């Protein structure tokens, strides 16, 4: 039977891929409710089947409270984490080990590794025990250790590699109690967004995906994943990214 989630949570709802994913969910799943989480709700579209909530890494109790409220109202069958950062006003990807700073590494790890871990902690228990459900967090191909031939981007690469390990651990743990749940990392392709904007020089137009296209391909992959793929990192075309 095709996967047709009824209760979906999207974290990073204000982002390019996150917001495109929400719109695709609303188009495909006509009875689904989408719980949208973002730091600021300014850019979240109003829709009768969208429930928006703010969240923050600095407020794990707020995340816990939101999880409790959604659990009491029926839980979730799809969780999509589209948060992440490559650069910010205070940090940029390091080309050399000499550029590493404690503050920059901490910020990148907090966003790319610790935040998804906290979302897993509070929201994985909302998945049903005996019904198909998916948790997918956007990682990145550059988080693959075996595929790293270029080096650089130390903190970003390492934070995504660590995210992949967390996903693997959670997949193993969830298999003990939630045999129908699939936990995966995903690579969205090179996507036109504020995250990739400063690094798009040299990328051919044909290689740069629009968020809508990437989100649709990610949702296609999610709708087909099975138990044999839990714990893995899958690209937008369904292929596995080597650890
Ligand atoms: N674009 C690409 O080419 C590409 C390639 C590989 C992987 N990815 C991954 O895809 C994911 C989505 O990226 P995107 O391209 O859609 O970028 P984006 O448009 O910049 O979206 C990033 C999202 O993450 C949120 N975010 C960042 N830091 C946060 C924090 N500390 N706490 C809470 N939310 C935070 C942003 O919220 P605000 O709106 O509040 O800033 C925004 O919703 C990221 O994990 C990225 O690493 C992207």
CB within 8 Å of 87: residues ≥ 6 apart: 93, 195, 198
What are the residue boundaries of the structural domains of the chain, listed by start? 7-241
Residue bearing the CA closest to ligand 1, atom 45? 84
Q: Per the structure block, which two tokens stand in for 56?
A: 């923050």
Sheet of strand 7-11: strand arrangement? 50-54, 33-38, 7-11, 78-81, 133-138, 181-187, 233-235, 240-241
Among 3.90.1150.10, 3.40.50.300, 2.102.10.10, 3.40.50.720, name the CATH number for the domain at 7-241: 3.40.50.720
Q: Is the CB of 188 under 6 A from ligand 1?
A: yes
Span 195-199, average pLDDT: 95
Mean predicted lDDT score pLDDT of the chain: 97
Helix (H) or strand (E) holding 50: strand 50-54
pLDDT of residue 20 exceeding 90, the answer is yes
Asked whether the predicted pLDDT for residue 26 surpasses 80, the reply is yes
Check residue 202 and give its pLDDT.
Answer: 87
Beta bridge partners, 52, equal 36
Q: Give the model confidence (pLDDT) of 209-218 as tens digits.
A: 999 999 999 9
Pocket test for ligand 1, best of 9, 17, 90, 185 (most atoms within 8 A of CB): 17
Q: Taking the complete model, does pTM exceed 0.85, yes or no?
A: yes
Backbone angles phi, psi at 129, to 5 degrees: -75, -30
7: which 2 tokens? 């209760």
Total residue length of the chain: 243
Q: What is the pLDDT of residues 101-149, one digit of tens each?
A: 999 999 999 999 999 999 999 999 999 999 999 999 999 999 999 999 9
């Amino acid at each position: 039977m095709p996967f047709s989630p009824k209760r979906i949570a999207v974290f990073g709802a204000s982002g390019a891929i996150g917001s495109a994913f929400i719109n695709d969910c609303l188009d495909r799943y006509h009875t689904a409710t989408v719980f949208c989480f973002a730091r600021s709700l300014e850019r979240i579209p109003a829709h009768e089947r969208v429930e928006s909530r703010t969240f923050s890494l600095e407020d794990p109790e707020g995340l816990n409270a939101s999880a409790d409220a959604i659990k009491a109202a029926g839980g979730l069958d799809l969780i999509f984490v589209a948060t992440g950062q490559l650069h910010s006003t205070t940090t940029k990807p390091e080309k050399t080990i000499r550029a590493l700073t404690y503050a920059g590494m901490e910020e990148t790890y907090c966003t790319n590794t610790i935040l998804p871990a906290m979302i897993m902690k509070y929201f994985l228990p909302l998945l049903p025990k005996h019904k198909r459900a998916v948790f997918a967090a956007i990682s990145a191909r550059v988080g693959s250790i075996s595929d790293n031939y270029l080096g650089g981007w130390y903190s970003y690469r390492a934070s995504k590699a660590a995210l992949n390990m967390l996903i693997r651990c959670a997949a193993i743990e969830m298999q003990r109690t939630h045999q129908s749940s699939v936990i995966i990392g995903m690579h969205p392709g090179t996507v036109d967004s504020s995250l990739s904007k400063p690094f798009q020089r040299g990328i051919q137009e044909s290689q740069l995906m629009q968020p809508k296209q990437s989100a649709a391909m990610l949702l296609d992959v999610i709708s087909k994943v099975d138990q044999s793929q839990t714990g893995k990192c899958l690209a937008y075309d369904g292929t596995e990214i080597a650890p």
